[in-house]
């Protein structure tokens, strides 16, 4: 290998080295006379204080213990010290028991929750794994010139696993985990909340210096992070698929709560999340006092603040800016594959018989991971009290029914007329669901006149698949289903019952959204800038009322004509309900098949819709209830073990005098 000849260093390059060396020398001796004077002065100050104490303390002790005046002074000092410590101890107890923050500090891995326990949302898991990588390699990342993530905001409905994910991140990163609720930072004493925040982050940074990083999780952060004024409300990071701000009224109502002590608490949180670099260690502070600390930038230990909320649109914009909550992760409801993964995970923890997984995935549409866990655990409770050794699909459906509609609480004493009214009310809902819902979108799950929770009866729909958007026609169908109960009351009973209040509320809300939010009524003007409550006020008593009322009357006329032209089918469903109390979709379809063999179905388009005022219709003469009931009860099968579970949607219920569930 050829050896290159020696080449002397170029003069230009030697000049650059000399210039860099001169800069370092200048930096080292920058303001050196002032630094030397400060070092000498503070050294003499400390030495002088030590010399004075060594001379004064022995003489003062001798005077206090030997002279008569010393005894008086000692009594005064003892009494003063007693009062000082007694009052201070009282304040300490008040702070400890009433003012201190309720926070749980957990060492690495103490929660026992890791990424293998988080199921149902792989996208969120991937984002979390990146955060873990940054926490593990914080030093390497800083050497590259990057800044470690300081804040992560988890946004999503309750029960989607936000705190669960925070615990998994701390376990995977091998760092301590601090868990607290944001309201615990508030205090009745002015300034105490600021002190709580300072002490909280002081402890977090101390643990971060020891373990390399620390995760601080603040649940319900909107309790202290509310925008200080309406124009400071941050951009929405929501999870609602239709994009409507259903918390606008809440935001406008609570915006004033950010003032005073609440605003000071938020300001302290903003400072602690993004503080200027400053010395943390005791030795460094001593060296800084004597001016011996070098010019290297102070290193702040990485503390990752994780916040969880389902009201992100109410948070202050300063809290959402980069440098504080750098990342925002939407933790949404799991899809079909996610629910399958969650169901299999929790089923593996309990004894169970072979389960129809596809059916369970369909039954749990709209369920959160916590809801799935609850239903499976509730199924174990049902199986235990039934004397079973393992759960099966039947007890799973019972648990789902309790989760959605509440406990079954039959009314022991109810007149036959009251049962008949409730049956026809729910039969109207059930028939409209069967005939108006598209088979590939939704179906009737069950209809019952047994009280569940506060509802005297309900007709529960079941979505067939996840829906993320809907058309105007589908919205109008939902309005018709809601108004079908009133149509059945007027046609068959010639009465108007109080149980329709919840139905009218749902129908009015949908019509208001069609008119003032979705742009489906020949106008693109949206009323949502005034908030969700502003939209409802405009629809109930403002300029939108006429348009909303027109839609409600049109859809009511359609569903009333549908029921009126197929009254035999509705009567059959109602009479079967009176006899059997509860019908599944299989029962209803069998009843309709028999009735429509004699009385063919008349569709909405074939029916002649008479435009009439919203009010009473002509009551129909009904056959004797026992005739149809007895005929149907003899050949209608009872609920099979494969009967479906009620849907995750809100059932349409009848409860006199109150809104339906």
CA distance 499 to 365: 27
- Reading the block at residue 531, the tokens are 């908030």
Q: What is the DSSP letter of 306?
A: E
CA distance 530 to 539: 12
- Reading the block at residue 485, the tokens are 């109960």
For position 512, what pLDDT does the model report?
93
Q: What distances in angstroms separate CA 96 from CA 90, 189, 209, 507, 642, one per listed residue?
A: 10, 13, 26, 52, 56
Q: What is the DSSP letter of 311?
A: -
The residue among 149, 135, 130 whose CA lies nearest residue 325 is 149
- The tens digit of pLDDT for each residue in 468-515 reads 888 999 999 999 999 999 999 999 999 999 889 889 999 999 999 999
CA distance 111 to 304: 17
For position 472, what pLDDT does the model report?
93
- The tens digit of pLDDT for each residue in 192-231 reads 788 888 889 989 998 988 888 899 999 999 888 888 776 6
CA distance 558 to 436: 11
For position 442, what pLDDT does the model report?
85
440-446: which pairs have CB atoms within 8 A and are 24 or more residues apart?
A: 440/464, 440/465, 441/465, 441/467, 441/474, 442/647, 443/585, 444/585, 444/588, 445/584, 445/585, 445/644, 445/645, 445/646, 445/647, 446/582, 446/583, 446/584, 446/585, 446/643, 446/644, 446/646
The residue among 106, 104, 272 whose CA lies nearest residue 175 is 106
CA distance 615 to 34: 93
Among left, alpha and beta (phi > 0; psi -120 to 50; other), residue 174 is: left
CA distance 249 to 537: 11
For position 31, what pLDDT does the model report?
57
CA distance 428 to 482: 9
Angle at 351 between CA 345 and CA 357, to 5 degrees: 50
Q: What is the DSSP letter of 278?
A: -
The answer to whether residues 333 and 158 touch, using CB atoms and an 8 Å cutoff, is: no
Residue 581 DSSP SS3: coil
Maximum Cα–Cα distance for the chain, whole Å? 120
592-629 per-residue burial string, b: 16 or more CB within 10 A, e: under 16: beebeeeeeebeeeebebeeeeeeebeeeeeeebeebb
For position 134, what pLDDT does the model report?
82
The answer to whether residues 222 and 307 touch, using CB atoms and an 8 Å cutoff, is: no
Angle at 522 between CA 517 and CA 523, to 5 degrees: 50
CA distance 24 to 19: 9
Beta-bridge mates of residue 459: 447, 652
The answer to whether residues 319 and 269 touch, using CB atoms and an 8 Å cutoff, is: yes
Q: What distances in angstroms separate CA 328 from CA 155, 306, 332, one per listed residue?
A: 7, 10, 13
CA distance 273 to 276: 10
Which residues, 6 or more positions from 40, have their beta carbon under 8 angstroms from its beta carbon?
Answer: none
Residues of the chain under the 70 pLDDT cut: 1-16, 18, 22-35, 94-100, 138-146, 230-263, 278-298, 604-661
Among left, alpha and beta (phi > 0; psi -120 to 50; other), residue 460 is: beta
CA distance 425 to 496: 10
Residue 104 DSSP SS3: strand
CA distance 604 to 593: 18
């Amino acid at each position: 290998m050829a050896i290159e000849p020696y080449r002397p260093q170029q003069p230009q390059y030697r000049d650059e080295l000399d210039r860099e060396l001169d800069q370092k020398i200048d930096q080292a001796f920058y303001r050196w006379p002032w630094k030397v004077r400060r070092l000498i002065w503070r050294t003499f100050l400390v030495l002088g204080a030590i010399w004075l104490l060594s001379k004064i303390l022995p003489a003062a002790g001798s005077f206090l213990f030997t002279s008569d005046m010393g005894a008086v002074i000692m009594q005064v000092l003892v009494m003063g010290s007693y009062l000082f410590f007694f009052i201070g101890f009282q304040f300490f107890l008040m702070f400890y028991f009433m003012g201190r923050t309720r926070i749980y500090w957990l060492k690495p891995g103490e929660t026992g929750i890791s990424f293998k326990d988080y199921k149902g949302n792989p996208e969120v898991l991937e984002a979390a794994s990146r955060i873990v990588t940054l926490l593990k390699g914080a030093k390497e990342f800083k050497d590259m010139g990057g800044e470690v993530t300081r804040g992560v905001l988890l946004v999503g409905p309750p029960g989607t696993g936000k705190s669960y994910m925070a615990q998994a991140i701390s376990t995977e990163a091998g760092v301590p985990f601090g868990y607290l609720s944001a309201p615990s930072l508030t205090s009745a004493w002015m300034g105490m909340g600021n002190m709580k925040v300072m002490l909280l982050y002081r402890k977090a940074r101390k643990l971060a210096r020891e373990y390399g990083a620390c995760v601080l999780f603040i649940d319900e952060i909107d309790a202290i992070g509310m925008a200080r004024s309406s124009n400071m409300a941050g951009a929405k990071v929501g999870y609602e698929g239709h994009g409507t701000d259903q918390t606008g009224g809440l935001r406008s109502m609570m915006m004033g709560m950010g003032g005073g002590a609440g605003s000071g608490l938020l300001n302290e949180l903003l400072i602690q999340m993004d503080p200027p670099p400053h010395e943390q260690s005791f030795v460094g502070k001593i060296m800084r006092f004597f001016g011996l600390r070098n010019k290297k930038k102070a290193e702040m230990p990485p503390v990752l603040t994780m916040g969880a909320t389902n009201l992100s649109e109410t948070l202050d914009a300063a809290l959402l800016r980069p440098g504080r909550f750098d990342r925002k992760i939407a933790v949404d409801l799991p899809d079909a594959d996610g629910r399958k993964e969650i169901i299999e995970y929790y089923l593996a923890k309990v004894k169970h018989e072979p389960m129809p997984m596809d059916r369970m995935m369909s039954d749990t549409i709209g369920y959160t991971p916590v809801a799935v866990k609850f239903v499976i655990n509730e199924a174990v409770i049902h199986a235990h009290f039934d004397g079973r050794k393992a759960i099966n699909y039947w007890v799973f459906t019972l648990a789902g029914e309790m989760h959605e509609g509440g406990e079954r609480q039959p009314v022991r004493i109810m007149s036959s007329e009251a049962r008949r009214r409730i049956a026809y009310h729910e039969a109207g809902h059930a028939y409209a669901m069967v005939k108006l819902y598209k088979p590939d979108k939704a179906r009737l799950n069950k209809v019952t006149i047994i009280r569940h929770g506060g509802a005297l009866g309900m007709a529960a729909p079941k979505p067939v698949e996840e829906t993320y958007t809907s058309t105007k026609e589908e919205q109008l169908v939902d309005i018709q289903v809601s108004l079908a109960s009133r149509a059945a009351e007027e046609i068959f009973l010639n009465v108007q019952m109080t149980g329709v209040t919840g139905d009218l509320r749902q129908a009015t809300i949908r019509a208001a959204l069609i008119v003032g939010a979705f742009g489906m009524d020949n106008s693109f003007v949206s009323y949502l800038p005034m908030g969700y409550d502003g939209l409802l006020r405009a629809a109930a008593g403002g300029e939108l009322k006429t348009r909303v009322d027109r839609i409600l009357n049109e859809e009511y006329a359609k569903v009333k004509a549908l029921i009126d032209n197929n009254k035999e089918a509705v009567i059959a469903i109602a009479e079967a309900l009176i006899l059997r109390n509860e019908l599944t979709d299989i029962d209803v379809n069998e009843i309709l098949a028999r009735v429509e063999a004699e009385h063919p179905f008349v569709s909405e388009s074939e029916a002649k819709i008479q435009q009439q005022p919203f009010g009473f219709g002509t009551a129909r003469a009904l056959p004797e209830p026992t005739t149809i009931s007895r005929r149907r009860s003899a050949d209608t099968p009872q609920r099979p073990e494969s009967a479906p579970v009620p849907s995750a949607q809100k059932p349409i219920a009848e409860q006199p005098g109150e809104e339906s569930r």
